[in-house]
Structures are given as structure tokens and as C-alpha cells.
Structure 1
Amino acid sequence: MTHTIHQLIEEYGLIAVFLGCLAEGESVAILAGFFAHQHVFIPWQAFATAFLGAFAGDTGFFVVGRSFADHPWTTRMRNRPGFSHAYSLVRQHPNAFVLGNRFIYGMRLVGGIAAGLSGISLPRFVVLNVISSAIWAALFCAIGYVFGLGAEQVVGRTLVHHERLLIALAVGLVVAVAAFLLAHHVAKRERKHGP
């Protein structure tokens, strides 16, 4: 079973990294770095795929906010926790907001839409988003790569592919659960205290 999963990761893993990085994606980028260390992915391909997914996702949310401001889905996003705060921040500090939004878990979706509604020009957004996505992809892929080095030191160089896969999946699960709990806590606090 783990051999089949390992083979699927080798064949379709970069597609999964791209899709996973479209929205939040920290755990996916960390896994990409881990698999790069384990020689499942080539390191530059893991970085490039995470970068392209992050860039495409943020740009997509920006375009939705810009082009479909009155669409019912966009209206629902405006009512989500964090939107009013994101919109206020992007109006006050547009450059800093676009550069930092990708690093704020749980705000990326509403932040991208808020940026699209804020009046930032598309060329300005794209330049800032390229910088932000590149830093984000490098940081989280590097965390995964360094974790791979640490796992190799702790478990030993005799670690077989199947055990590496299970460790990577466990790391991804822990990161995803921690990020979900953090986002849930922030949303709950905001609903209680208001924006």
C-alpha cells in the first residue's frame, strides 16, 4: 500500500503541491521541501511549483474581488470573519498587506478578495505578489527540507522510502491540524470581540 502511495506521489505529487498551494498550503509546501530532501522531487521543482501555486491562488482571489465584486460568492466572502479587518489593513497599508497576507493563515482568501476590492492596480499587485509568493515558497519548502535533514539524523540514514512517506504524511497532518486550530481560534475570537 505505501509503495503505491509513494509511486503516486512521485508521479502526481507536484500537481498536488500546486493545487494545495493555491489557497493556504503551508503544510503542502513543507511536504514539498521534505520530499525534495528525500529525492522524490527535485528541489527547484518543489520550490517552483509551490511558488506558482501560491502566486496563482493569490492572483485568482484578487481578480475575483476586482472583477466579481457583486457576485453572491464574493458577497459571502465579505461577511466572513476577518474580511473587514483585512479590508481596513489593505486600504491603510496596501504594499505591506499584499506582501504579508500570504503569511497570515486563515486570512489569505478574504485578504486576496479585499485587495481586489481595494483599488490596488493589477500590475502593482502582481509585482508584490511575486515577491511575497517567492519568499513564502522558499521559507516553507526550506522548513520541509531542513525537517528532512533532521529526520535523517534522528532516524538514521537507513530510513527506507516507506518510512519516509509515513513521516512526511504525519508532519503534513500535524501542520494542517495546528493551522486549522489556529485559524479557528482567531475566527472565534474575532466573532466574540468584533473586528
Structure 2
Amino acid sequence: MSETIHALIEQYGLVAVFAGCLFEGETAAILGGFFGHQGVFVPWQAFAAAFAGAFLGDASFFLAGRRFAEHRLVRRLRKRPGFSHAYELVRAHPNLFVLTNRYVYGMRLLGGVVAGLSDIPPLRFLLLNAVSSLSWAALFTGLGYFFGLGAEQLLGETLHKHHRLLIALGIGVVVLLLGHFAARRLSRRRKDGEPADGT
């Protein structure tokens, strides 16, 4: 079973990293870096897949806000908690908003649409999005690479395929739990009327 899963990761893993990074993506980018360290992926290809997914995802959300502002899905997003706060931020600090929005867990999709609804020029958004996507992909794939290095140091041997899968599963669960906790805490702060952190 582990051999089959490992073979699927080798064959389709970079596509999964790209697809995962189209949306929130932290887990996908970290796992891309981890498998890059393990030689399952070429490290620069894992980074490139994470960058491309992050960049194209946010560009798509921006386009949705800019071109389809009256679509029912965009109107539904406007009713989500945090929309008015995000819109105030993007109007007050457009450059900083685009550069940092992807680091706020659970707000990336909403933030991209909000940016599209603002008056940020498309070229400026694309340039800032490229810078943000590069730094984000480097941070999270680098973190995954570091996890791979740490796992080998801890176990004192080259990881076997089933070790890789178990560690990858553990990384995924921990990242998802941390993200869920961060999103709940941010939501609670907004409900309490406290200013939200930018990271």
C-alpha cells in the first residue's frame, strides 16, 4: 500500500502541490519542500509548483473581484466575516495588503477578491503578487525542506518510503490544526472588536 501511495506522489505530487497552492496552500507547499529534501521531487521544481500555484491563485481571485463583482459567488463573499475589515485595509494600505494577505490563514481567497474590488491597478497587483508569491513559496517549501532534514537527523538514517509517508501525514495534520486554531482565534478577535494581526 505504501509503495502505491509513494508511486502516486512521485508521479502526481508536483501537480498536487500546484493545485493545493492555488488556494490556501501552506500544507501543500510544506509537503512539497519535504519531498524535495527526500529526493522524491527536484527541490526547485517543488518551489516552482508552489510559486506558480500561489501566483495564479491570487491572480484568479483578483480577476474574480475585478471582472465579476456582481456574480452571486462574489456577492456571497462580500457577506463573509472580515470582508469590511479587509476592504478598509486594502484601501488604506494597498501595497502592504497585497504583500501580506496570503500570510493570514483563511483570508487568502477573500483578500484576493477584495483587492480586485479595490482600485489597485492590475499591473501593480501582479508585480506585488509575484513578490509575495516568491517569498511565500520560499518560506513554506524551505520549511518543508527543513522538516525533512530534521527528520533524518532525528532518525539518524535515510528515511524509508513508509517513514516519509508517516512524517508527511504528521506534518499535514499539524499544519491543518495550527491553521484551524489561527483562523478561529482571528475570527474571535474580530467578533470581540479587537484589531487583527497581519500575519
TM-score under structure 1 length normalisation: 0.96
- Deviation at residue 186 of structure 1 after TM alignment: 1.6
Report the 3-state secondary structure (helix = DSSP H, G, I; strand = E; otherwise coil) of the residue aligned with 1:102. Answer: helix
Offset of 1:5 from its aligned partner?
A: 0.7
1:32 partner letter: G
CA distance in 1 between counterparts of 2:76 and 2:62 reads 15
Q: C-alpha distance in 1, partners of 2:158/2:17?
A: 27
- In 2: Cα distance, 1:169 partner to 1:91 partner: 40
1:166 CA drift (Å): 1.1
Q: Which residue of 2 aligns with 1:116?
A: 116
Letter of the 1:183 partner, please give it. A
Task: Work out the CA distance in 1 between the residues paired with 2:172 and 2:145.
Answer: 13
Distance 1:190 1:99 in 2: 21
Q: Deviations over 1:60-101 (max 9, x none)?
A: 000000001111110110111111111111100111110111
Alignment of 1:55-66 (within 5 A): 55-66=55-66
Summarize the alignment of residues 1-195 of structure 1 with structure 2, pairs less than 5 Å apart: 1-193=1-193
Q: After superposition, give the CA deviation of every residue in 1:112-148 in whole Å (9 maximum; x if it has no partner).
A: 0110000111111000000000000000000000111
Amino acid at match of 2:95: N
Q: CA deviation at 1:190?
A: 1.9
| Aligned positions, number | 195
What's the TM-score once normalised by structure 2's chain length?
A: 0.94
SS in 2 for 1:131: helix
Partner Cα separation in structure 2 for residue 109 and residue 84 of structure 1 = 14
Deviation at 1:193, TM superposition (A): 3.3
Residue type matched to 2:12 in 1? Y
Cα deviation, residue 185, structure 1: 2.6
Q: Distance in 1 between matches of 2:166 and 2:5?
A: 10
What CA distance in whole angstroms lies between the structure 1 residues aligned with 2:127 and 2:89?
Answer: 19
RMSD of Structure 2 on Structure 1 (CA): 1.3
Structure 1 ranges of 4+ moved more than 3 A: 191-195
Where structure 2 has 5 or more consecutive residues not aligned to the other structure, the ranges are none
The unaligned stretches of length 5 or more in structure 1 are: none
Change (3 A) 1:152 1:194: closer
Letter paired with 2:129 = N
For 2:41, the aligned partner's letter is F
